[in-house]
Amino acid sequence: MEKKVKPDSYIGTTPILSNRACAVVDIIRPRYTAIMSTDDKPKSAVELAMERLRRKDADSGVTERLTTDRQKALIAEARNLHASKLAELEILHRSKLSGLFDPAERSQAEDGYRRDLTRLNEDLERKITKLRSESD
């Protein structure tokens, strides 16, 4: 004989369920809680983490500043200039390496190239930070 059970907060359950069916439904279908709302789409782990960070920032008093269109244009220009400098540096480095045959000289040239790359990348980051900190 089947036992009548009140419909729970399960979606799509029928009002008449056996005890065994109730146990299966508990395993298969999760209950909706206050955290999960039926009108929102499921969120990814990244979205949930970003929400948590935004709440933490708001609690600690950190304000979010959006970049303006002018700042975006200046940042894009700085990145384009950086890309062209990187391309130039790489071309010069390759041409220099093609004439070097001594391993010690090649190693020295590689070290210089890495230093130049680091300097260019740090310059770009410094420019972007400065542009974002400027207020219009």
Residue 132 contacts residue 86 (beta carbons within 8 Å): no
pLDDT in tens, 56-109: 988 888 887 888 999 999 999 999 999 999 999 999 999 999 999 999 999 999
Cα gap 33→31, rounded to integer Å: 6
| Close Cβ partners of 106 (under 8 Å, ≥ 6 residues apart) | 97, 100
Q: Considering the entire predicted model, what is its pTM?
A: 0.57
Tell me, what's the pLDDT at 122?
Answer: 98
Measuring CA to CA, which residue among 3, 32, 31 is closest to residue 17? Answer: 3
CA atoms within 13 A on the CB side of 23: 3
Packing angle, helices 69-98 and 103-133, rounded to 10: 170
